[in-house]
Amino acid sequence: MTDKTANQMWGGRFASGPDAIMEAINASISFDQRLAAQDIAGSRAHAAMLSAQGIITDKDAETIREGLLTVLSEIEGGSFQFSTALEDIHMNVEARLKEVIGEPAGRLHTGRSRNDQVATDFRLWVRDQADAAIAGLEALMRALLGQAEAGADWVMPGFTHLQTAQPVTWGHHMMAYVEMFARDKSRFEDARRRMNESPLGAAALAGTSFPIDRHATAEALGFDRPMANSLDAVSDRDFALEFLGAASICAMHLSRMAEELVIWSSAQFRFVVLSDRFSTGSSIMPQKKNPDAAELIRAKIGRIFGANVALMMVMKGLPLAYSKDMQEDKEQVFDAADNLMLALAAMTGMVGDMKANVPGLEGAAGAGFSTATDLADWLVRVLGMPFRDAHHVTGALVALAEGKGCDLPELSLSDMQGVEPRITEEVFGVLGVHNSVASRMSYGGTAPERVRQQVAAWTEKLG
């Protein structure tokens, strides 16, 4: 591009074009070309509105519409030549439109600025990503529901501090993640509702003197309404920050589950077998089957967290309205969105394919004195013992079993009566892991009946 071309884009204020360093730091086309479809959609809506308002002729509007469709087809077909000298997606599209249709292209920018244009493009793109995240979360939740339904009766250890705590069911554990990812889904849905206002027509910062119809362009682009303040419209990036905030919490949940899959698939646990599709081998150790997909999910989450912090840092010191700093809003969001969708897809695949080691889970469920709380509850319920006294007696029985190198159900009745004489044979009925989980019938509990109720409820909600 010649200096003369650059001057035409910037107007008569500048006597010479940018040098190479300024061009490099100023240009955003290397990444904001991802906004091409949104940019052209916004321009089509704007041109149609200008025509409806009598600001440009119907003929010019139709020429612009057809030209924009030509440009879009070139971009989608891969033949479009993006130019760093033209700075951004807006100038690249406008310059090519002028080559295609000539003088009417210059009328397209009437009543708008690149400030409201980029705010509109970016908001449309983030809205699309929120929709994609919602769909991805629904797919993951369905995969988890499939596991929960299959394993509503499978018993496994529940942990606190990664120490055996109480027996739970496999289905109950899967449903815990359904609840987490459902909250993530609701956060994206909430964020989408708030971001669904149109900045288009706010122009540079103060609105425009042309008789534009912002409600018409908002409706054409699927927004609920135009933004009510032009300063806010061009300088707001809350929608991107909210998306990153929701993505960060979702990523944290994905990382927690990935960590569990890494642990569960280890030789020390053997709780699950991950499919070959989401595992790799070792170049030197032929016995290895590594949970690489889970590990990479766990690692990629840092990029999403980083994007959230980075955009907060960009925005924290900016006065109203638009500042060039905001050009740094997109790469972080693009990267975070890409990695979130990849992590969701990988986790959905792993959950759908993984096979639980049901005998191994049940064996582990009974280890580590996991039914100690059931014993204490029995002492309260049957013997009328205060819970703190029952806790003390149960602790003494655990210590006794530990000294004998056995678990609680393996103690003899006489052993137990040596600690608390009133204990009867009935106590052994609550020390089995299946009895333990079946008894947890409180709402939200691990009992298979409760798990199946929750599976049914969520299956109906997801449709």
User: Read out DSSP for 407-455?
Assistant: -GGGS-HHHHHHH-TT--GGGGGTSSHHHHHHH--STT---HHHHHHHH
Express each pLDDT in 346-365 by its tens digit: 999 999 999 999 999 999 99
- The answer to whether residue 5 sits within a structural domain is no
Residue 58 and residue 181 in one domain: no
- The answer to whether residue 6 sits within a structural domain is no
Residue 311 and residue 455 in one domain: no
Express each pLDDT in 121-153 by its tens digit: 999 999 999 999 999 999 999 999 999 999 999
Residue 448 and residue 319 in one domain: no
CATH for 346: 1.20.200.10
Residue 203 and residue 321 in one domain: yes
Residue 166 and residue 46 in one domain: no
Express each pLDDT in 295-339 by its tens digit: 999 999 999 999 999 999 999 999 999 999 999 999 999 999 999
Where does the pLDDT of residue 167 fall: very low under 50, low under 70, confident under 90, or very high at 90 and above? very high
Residues designated catalytic: 161, 282
* Closest-CA residue to 32 (of 107, 84, 76): 84
The domain boundary, picked from 107, 140, 168, lies at 107
- The answer to whether residue 7 sits within a structural domain is no
- The answer to whether residue 231 sits within a structural domain is yes
Residue 103 and residue 125 in one domain: no
The number of domains in the chain is 3
Residue 262 and residue 354 in one domain: yes
What pTM was computed for the model?
0.89
pLDDT at 286: 45
pLDDT at 287: 55
User: Residue 5: is its pLDDT beyond 60?
Assistant: no
- The answer to whether residue 66 sits within a structural domain is yes
Question: For residues 240 and 329, is the Cβ–Cβ distance under 8 A?
Answer: yes
Residue 458 and residue 442 in one domain: yes
For the chain, give the mean pLDDT: 92
What is the spatial distance between Cα 448 and Cα 440, in angstroms, rounded to a whole number?
9
The domain boundary, picked from 330, 363, 396, lies at 363
pLDDT at 382: 93
User: Residue 458: is its pLDDT beyond 90?
Assistant: yes
Alpha-carbon dihedral of residues 77, 78, 81, 84, nearest 10 degrees?
120
User: Residue 281: is its pLDDT beyond 70?
Assistant: no
* Closest-CA residue to 114 (of 60, 180, 42): 42
Question: For residues 234 and 116, is the Cβ–Cβ distance under 8 A?
Answer: yes
Structure tokens at 14: 């500048």
Residue 186 and residue 304 in one domain: yes
What is the spatial distance between Cα 366 and Cα 381, in angstroms, rounded to a whole number?
22
Residue 338 and residue 291 in one domain: yes
Express each pLDDT in 77-108 by its tens digit: 999 999 998 989 999 999 999 999 999 999 99
Where does the pLDDT of residue 8 fall: very low under 50, low under 70, confident under 90, or very high at 90 and above? low
Residue 178 and residue 306 in one domain: yes
Q: Which domain holds residue 182?
A: 115-210+224-363
Q: Peptide bond preceding 376: is omega within 30 degrees of 0, i.e. cis?
A: no
Average pLDDT, stretch 177-202?
98
Average pLDDT, stretch 11-17?
59
CATH for 376: 1.10.40.30
Structure tokens at 398: 């655990």
pLDDT at 24: 78
159: β partners: 164
Q: Please give the share of the chain, as a percent, with pLDDT higher than 70.
A: 94
Residue 156 and residue 74 in one domain: no
Q: Please give the share of the chain, as a percent, with pLDDT higher than 90.
A: 81
- The answer to whether residue 357 sits within a structural domain is yes
The domain boundary, picked from 309, 342, 363, lies at 363
What is the spatial distance between Cα 418 and Cα 439, in angstroms, rounded to a whole number?
27
- The answer to whether residue 10 sits within a structural domain is no
Average pLDDT, stretch 426-440?
88
CATH for 44: 1.10.275.10
Alpha-carbon dihedral of residues 410, 416, 419, 420, nearest 10 degrees?
150
- The answer to whether residue 9 sits within a structural domain is no
Token pair 């939200």 is found at: 444
* Closest-CA residue to 400 (of 420, 384, 422): 420
